Amino acid sequence: MTDRQLRATIGLLALAGTALAAYLVFVHYSGRPITCSFGGCETVHRSKYSEVLGVPVALLGLGAYVAILALSLWCSEAARAAGLAIALSGVLFGAYLLYAQVVVIEALCEWCLLSDALLSVIAALSLLRLLTKGAPAPPGVPARART
Amino acid sequence: MRTRSLYVAAAAAVALLGATVLVLASLLGSSDSSATPARTASAGTSALFTGIPQHAATLGRPTAPVTLVEYADLQCPYCGLWARQQLPSIVDQLVRSGRLQIRFHGLAFVGPDSQTALAGAIAAGRQNRLWDFVDLMYQSQETENAGWVDPVLDDTASAAQLDMDRWTSDRRSGSLVDEIDRLSAGAAAAGVHSTPSFGLARTGEPPKLLDTHDLDATSLRGLIDQLAPR
């Protein structure tokens, strides 16, 4: 994949994550019931693990996705590294929350699982982006098209 | 290449640090259960019951084929534990779908504060918001008879979005004392000796006491399916 393709994919995934997290923030503050297929979302949403020092986890997620989205538009080594750091941090914290869902709360929130999956893919693509800077552009593509 | 490796290492280190800080902050916050005042919990409580009919002490659609009666004292720690740990799943999976309605049968035997709390709950029931009030009280619950009820009572009623003037007048009315006595006699007649206790029956029939104090959604679903096969 070229760096442009990697950035576009990361950007799209971050956009999807932003929409997901924005919905969960809305649910958190509006008090409306959460849409859920399997019935565990409300239990997780009401658990003590849904906040970190009074800040909704959904709001932290929203901030992370927006930051990743912004960094995907920025082409520099530092931006690649920052994007990877944020995504990886989200994956690790998500793993802790998944443990809490399974072992402590004994309920699973499908929105959280979807976010975990999104962050994992973003982290993998961000690592690829940082390690390879993307594959060289195909022959014939002007140098300025490479980003 | 070396620079890239340095960036990867730096990103991994920052990620590890960030995740560690978040986990520690989460553990710190979750160990301080007293830091969950009624107002903080109100959004979650409201979300749990939004869209589910409430009438007096009953939560759920009147057409639900099965009724669960919960015998509880608002000061009883195990009642609070059950309400915080099991009730959300039960409401999510069984009440919201219309399979079950739950009737709160309040008792006041732990101490004088139990009567104060129960009077508040019954008065909230007169505005069809008993379940919001009770859930918020359980979120604020502390050690029995430690004096936690009075300080949280008004905030809880306010967070449950009650008409405060009407609620204050109702909870002090003499008729509530009679109602609490009736509830106590009803529980004794049903053979309730400890809380939480649960009675279950097809809606409209007298409830039979269940031999458990820790009813969860999975076992309750099985019992409902036996009583009212789909």
User: Following DSSP, what letter does each residue of A34-68 receive, concatenated?
Assistant: PP-SSS-HHHHHHSGGGEETTEEHHHHHHHHHHHH
* Alpha-carbon separation of residue A18 from A79, B22, B116, B121, B192 (angstroms): 18, 20, 46, 40, 51
pLDDT tens sequence across A105-126: 777 889 999 999 999 999 999 9
Provide the token pair at B49: 């019951």
* Contact criterion met (CB < 8 Å) for A43 and B12: no
* Contact criterion met (CB < 8 Å) for B50 and A31: yes
Who has greater pLDDT, B230 or B224? B224
Instruction: Look at residue A17 and give its three-state secondary structure.
Output: helix
pLDDT in the model for residue A142: 44
| Average pLDDT, rounded, for chain B | 88
* Contact criterion met (CB < 8 Å) for A85 and B44: no
Lowest mean pLDDT: which of A36-40, B51-55, B62-66, B132-136? Answer: A36-40
A99 and B CB contact within 8 Å:
no
Residues in chain B: 230
Q: Is the pLDDT of residue B143 over 90?
A: no
pLDDT tens sequence across B148-204: 999 999 999 999 999 999 999 999 998 898 999 999 999 999 988 888 999 999 999
Where residue B32 falls (left for φ over 0; alpha for ψ -120 to 50; beta otherwise) is: beta
Chain CA centroid to CA B83, Å: 4
* Contact criterion met (CB < 8 Å) for A45 and B4: no
Which residue of B16, B22, B50 to mutate against A (max A Cβ within 10 Å)? B22
Question: Domain extents for chain A?
Answer: 3-134
Could you identify the residue written with the tokens 């990867």? B8
B114 closest CA partner among B63, B150, B67, B88: B150
Q: Give the global pTM.
A: 0.56
* E strands present in chain B: 54-55, 58-59, 66-72, 100-106, 197-202, 208-209
Q: Which residues in chain A are contacts of B217 at CB distance < 8 A?
A: 39
Which segments in chain A show pLDDT lower than 70? 31-33, 38-39, 42-43, 46, 133-147
Cβ contact B212:B198 at 8 Å: yes
Instruction: Please enumerate in sequence order all residues whose Cβ is within 8 A of that of A21, keeping only pairs 6 or more positions apart, or say none.
Output: A58, A59, A61, A62, A64, A65, A115
* Contact criterion met (CB < 8 Å) for A33 and B44: no
Q: Which residues in chain B are contacts of A41 at CB distance < 8 A?
A: 92
State whether ipTM is beyond 0.85.
no
CATH topology of domain A3-134: de novo design (two linked rop proteins) (1.20.1440)
Q: Which residues in chain A are contacts of B30 at CB distance < 8 A?
A: 48-49
Q: Is the pLDDT of residue B48 over 70?
A: yes
State the Cα–Cα distance between residues B209 and B62, nearest whole angstrom: 21
Q: What count of other Cβ atoms lies within 10 Å of the Cβ of residue B108?
A: 21
Provide the token pair at B5: 């490796």
A108 closest CA partner among A32, A16, A34: A34
B10 and A CB contact within 8 Å:
yes
Provide the token pair at B164: 């405060």
User: Which of B19, B26, B88 is facing A42, going by the closest CB pair?
Assistant: B88
* Contact criterion met (CB < 8 Å) for B29 and A52: yes
Q: Is the pLDDT of residue B37 over 50?
A: no
pLDDT in the model for residue B30: 57
Instruction: Tell whether omega for the bond before B196 is within 30 degrees of 0, i.e. cis.
Output: yes
A51 and B CB contact within 8 Å:
yes
